[in-house]
Amino acid sequence: MIEGKYFVDPGKFLGATEDYEKAEVVIVGLPMDYTVSFKAGSRFGPAAIRQASYGLEYYSVYLDRRLEDKKFYDLGDLVLPYGNVEKSLDLISKATEDILKSGKKGLFLGGEHLVTYGILKEYLKKYEDNLVILHFDAHTDLREEFFGEVYSHATVMRKVWDIAKGIKMYNFGIRSGEKEEFEFAEKNTHMFLYEVVEPLKGVIDDIKDYPIYISWDIDVVDPAFAPGTGTPEPGGITTKEALEAIHILKDLNVVGMDLVEVSPSHDIAGITSILAAKLIRESILSFF
Ligand code: MN
Ligand code: MN
């Protein structure tokens, strides 16, 4: 008789526990990609990230920690009414509310970046203006509207800011946007152009006593390392710097995170998915 331990479920992230009740962190896939302005396809991101996770070890030499020592559950992908932005965001908010009510932390796999709005609406209800938002992205995502649409992956951080004026929002690695967005950031957020590691080190003392939410758009990484995304933007950070950023946040009070905009059909040799999977593994081990 062969035992269950010889089998894995590539439909769940590597090392996910089978006990929801005991889990402290919950992974949810959000297969939404209807407002992507350039190359669509990130609805398949969560599945590709989970599958890629089986190429990784349970052990992280960076952190000297193992996935088996963390209790996280993978709920699978949320079923969304494709094409309906409003209803999809409502469902994402509802799923987030359930996770927060059960006292757990959400780890969300996108999907397009607009999903973050549905998630953060609930986080802001719970943590109010105490929450610190760390936004890693090539793009500002601070437009008021995009092609006439108020809700878009290009407006998401502005929509978040609008419902939580005065929120402590930090944007890292930014290298693309409209002039007005940079002016808005100058007045209202803490934006750092091009770089991630040094600016993050510089703000650690300011954020370390707050609950932190991380929104990680994979396109902050250079397209040379992460081509599988909807709006690749040259001039980005390396995979090594991306990992270092996760490690800088070690043992801080991170209460939620999303990793968005992985688009497998535009990927080459699965390198973007394997990067996303590694960032997720290191995040689980570093601060969840
Ligand atoms: Mn982006
Ligand atoms: Mn984005």
Which of the 8 DSSP states describes residue 221?
B
Share above pLDDT 90 across residues of the chain, in percent, rounded to a whole number: 88
pLDDT at residue number 10:
83
Q: Which ligand is nearest to the CA of 174?
A: 1
Cα 22 to ligand 2 centroid, rounded to whole Å: 32
- For residue 2, what pLDDT band results from cuts at 50, 70 and 90? low
Cα 101 to ligand 1 centroid, rounded to whole Å: 30
Cα 139 to ligand 1 centroid, rounded to whole Å: 4
Q: Which ligand is nearest to the CA of 176?
A: 1
- For residue 216, what pLDDT band results from cuts at 50, 70 and 90? very high
Q: Which ligand is nearest to the CA of 230?
A: 1
From residue 73, give the alpha-carbon distance in Å to each of 50, 169, 262: 12, 28, 21
pTM above 0.85, yes or no: yes
Q: Which pLDDT tens digit goes with each residue over 62-91?
A: 999 999 999 999 999 999 999 899 999 999
Q: Which pLDDT tens digit goes with each residue over 156-170?
A: 999 999 999 889 999
Burial group, residue 247, by CB count within 10 angstroms (0-12, 13-18, 19+): middle
Burial group, residue 187, by CB count within 10 angstroms (0-12, 13-18, 19+): exposed
**Would you call 239 helix, strand, or coil by DSSP?**
helix
- For residue 255, what pLDDT band results from cuts at 50, 70 and 90? very high
Rounded Cα gap, residues 258 and 118, in angstroms = 11
